[in-house]
Chains A and B, each alone.
Chain A
Amino acid sequence: MLTEEIIVSFDQVEKKYDKESVLKTITFELERGKFYTLLGPSGCGKSTILNLLAGFTSPTEGSIYLNGEDTKNTPPNKRKVNTVFQDYALFPHMNVFDNVAFGLKMKKLSKEDIKKKVSAVLKLVRLNGYDEREITGMSGGQKQRVAIARALVNEPDVLLLDEPLSALDLKLRTDMQYELRELQQRLGITFLFVTHDQEEALAMSDEIMVMNEGEIVQTGTPIDIYDEPINRYVADFIGESNIVKGRMIEDYVVSFAGKSFQCVDGGMNPDEKVDVVIRPEDLVLTEAEKGALQIRVETQLFRGVHYEIVGMDNDGNQWMVHSTKKTEPGRRVGLQFEPQDIHIMRINETEESFDERIENYSAPASFSVEEGDRLDG
């Protein structure tokens, strides 16, 4: 069970539309049975990766391997890859059964086999008994399930999901996140999920690939990406964050906002300029004297779960705090935080050297559960 089987690999893939590069020389591999998420703003090229893998477009440069085979001359209908579309793209002239059975009919399976497989998959997405329903009369959530069933019934090696939850309302979306995750773990099929919603990505994925302007900026588990963002872009995109300019004095000591602090990062040049990230929920409000930093509160917003407090320190840096305790605008308060709450980012660091440095310098405490154990099952 320890074999980490590579199912998809992109080798130096580049895609251009009319000389404009939408994907810049991308290389990555996907292992069998994991939940991957491509995360990025619209227009960053994440959907292009799906289209390339499904075979709807072909790469300008480089090769894509599916199950170890070059897909160059494989048309979409011959690839063991299926897609769940953002608008579901169900066939309105067919009922639920015929929609789900479509792929099997194209493969010329026998009537009994089709019936058996379709009712099994409808049960899987909890739509048993809906066979005869017309698509036009269904709700968004139900259509979503039909779309998933229609793709899954073909037993694809990789299931591609192109922002499938974006058309649902918040409550339903959260429910579907759990359901999709659970479905993926039960079936052991590789999922490649595309979204611009960072919460969705954090909640569901084994591994997240953060994209920006046609490039993969950082790859890692949700915890890695949240706790150790590689640069300002990732830190900003994944969750709220306070990013201030700082200077690395020596390993494990950083200075920002006019003071020096203990931290858990190292491997930079002495006196190197860095970006310092502290998450708003890691900052604890205290009395002004007790805090490591002092800020003057400017605004306070009630967010339901917490108050969102924004203030300014003596150096003119802005700090956002998520706190369950409230304060008042205009008050001076202190901020407390632990050394491991401080994340240091070098400017313009590549992903490889970043990973290497993290490997060497991160305090053992910040290592979470080892990857890979999860594969069994």
Chain B
Amino acid sequence: MIKNNKWASLYLVVVFILLYTPIAYLIFYSFNEAGTMNQFSGFTLEHYAALAEDTRLMIIALDTIRVALLSALLATTIGTLGAIGIYYSRRRETQNLLLGFNNILLVSPDVIIGASFLLLFTVVGFRLGFYSVLLSHIAFSIPIVVLMVLPRLEEMNENMITAAKDLGATNWQVLKEIILPNITPGILAGYFMAFTYSIDDFAVTFFVTGNGFATLSVEIYSRARQGVSLEINALSTVLFLVAFSLVAGYYFIQKQQRTRKLAHMDPTNHEKAVTP
């Protein structure tokens, strides 16, 4: 057993080293005094200073976050309603069909989604820019939200809905008071996922950004093509730290919720307390 454990942890360590080495390498050279990644000559923060002065990059960063926040919000709303719709479709076949259509969007390559959006926008005559990016981000985030919310709905005790109706709740009240509070964790997870997918996305965005609008991933790509500047390393480091703190924050919120729930479970809470 012990031997087994050793191999397992060794495997884990190797995997994590493989995963994190490139990022660590990139972060390490963001502090390099020499302008290249060939040799480390000394510690400096000048790339970060340059980053702070780069207003174009700042605007793009803000735009990226704006798109991410908005698209995640709208995708979560639509996706949640969609999940409820799928859940309530009575027949099993319809349910599977709808879910199938949902999953196809998830597995189809971003390039195809991006290209098809580009086609659509040009055919309709929609101007490429902020709104085209926003719309496409909403579109590819919806399936993710559906996939995060649907299991929550299926876990829910259906008798609860019957009970609520039995107690006089209208359909709207059932949705507001029973269904939504019960699937909130799923909705939040969906929002977070949609947010990160939107920040992450390169391929789809690359197709549908017009002139004068870009997101960070597209910008980094075009700069990297022009030649390596360590400013990109600095930017990537900042992004990594933001992502890291988001994950850490999410973890701590969850942990806090769990301890609060445990605190509610009173150890003196026995049958004795009720029966006289």
Contacts and interface: CB of A to CB of B under 8 A. Distances in A.
A102 B164 contact: yes
Interface string B140-183: 00000000000000000101101111111110010001100110
B257 interface: no
Interface in A69-120: 75-78, 81-83, 85, 87, 89-93, 102-103, 106-107
Contacts of B53: none
A54 B168 CA distance: 11
Given A93-B182, A136-B265, A77 B271 contact: no
B156 to A, nearest CB: 9
B261 A56 contact: no
A91 B266 contact: no
A154 B159 CA distance: 18
B264 interface: yes
B158 to A, nearest CB: 9
A141 interface: yes
A150 interface: yes
A172 B275 CA distance: 10
A68 interface: no
A102 B182 contact: no
A133 interface: yes
B42 interface: no
B160 A91 contact: yes
Interface of A: 54, 56, 75-78, 81-83, 85, 87, 89-93, 102-103, 106-107, 126-127, 133-134, 136-139, 141-142, 145, 150-151, 154, 172, 175
SS class of chain A's interface: helix, strand, loop or mixed?
mixed
A90 B169 CA distance: 14
Interface string B231-268: 00000000000000000000000000000010011100
Contacts of A142: 271, 274
A102 B166 contact: no
Contacts of A133: 264, 266, 269
Contacts of A103: 167-168
A89 B157 contact: yes
Interface string B5-32: 0000000000000000000000000000
B275 A85 contact: no
Nearest to A98: B177
Given A76-B166, A103-B167, A137 B266 contact: yes
B124 to A, nearest CB: 43
B271 A139 contact: yes
B264 A106 contact: no
A91 to B, nearest CB: 6
B125 interface: no
B227 interface: no
A151 B165 CA distance: 12
B264 to A, nearest CB: 4
Given A126-B274, A137-B265, 7 more contacts: A85-B162, A106-B167, A126-B275, A137-B266, A139-B271, A142-B271, A151-B166
B270 interface: yes
A56 B265 CA distance: 34
B260 to A, nearest CB: 10
A89 B163 contact: yes
Contacts of B164: 91, 102
B185 to A, nearest CB: 10
A172 B270 CA distance: 13
29 contacts: A54-B166, A56-B166, A75-B165, A76-B165, A77-B167, A77-B168, A77-B170, A83-B162, A83-B163, A85-B159, A85-B162, A89-B157, A89-B160, A89-B162, A91-B178, A92-B182, A93-B181, A93-B182, A106-B169, A106-B170, A134-B265, A137-B265, A138-B269, A139-B270, A142-B274, A145-B274, A151-B166, A151-B167, A175-B275
B276 interface: yes
B111 to A, nearest CB: 42
Contacts of B165: 56, 75-77
Given A91-B160, A91-B178, A83 B269 contact: no
A154 B167 contact: yes
A105 to B, nearest CB: 8
A98 B43 CA distance: 60
Nearest to A56: B162
Contacts of B162: 56, 76, 83, 85, 89
Contacts of B173: 106
A154 B168 contact: yes
Which residue of B164, B173, B261 has the most chain A CB atoms within 10 A of its CB atom? B164
Contacts of B271: 139, 141-142, 172
Given A83-B163, A89-B157, A150-B167, A137 B269 contact: yes
Given A87-B159, A136-B265, A127 B166 contact: no
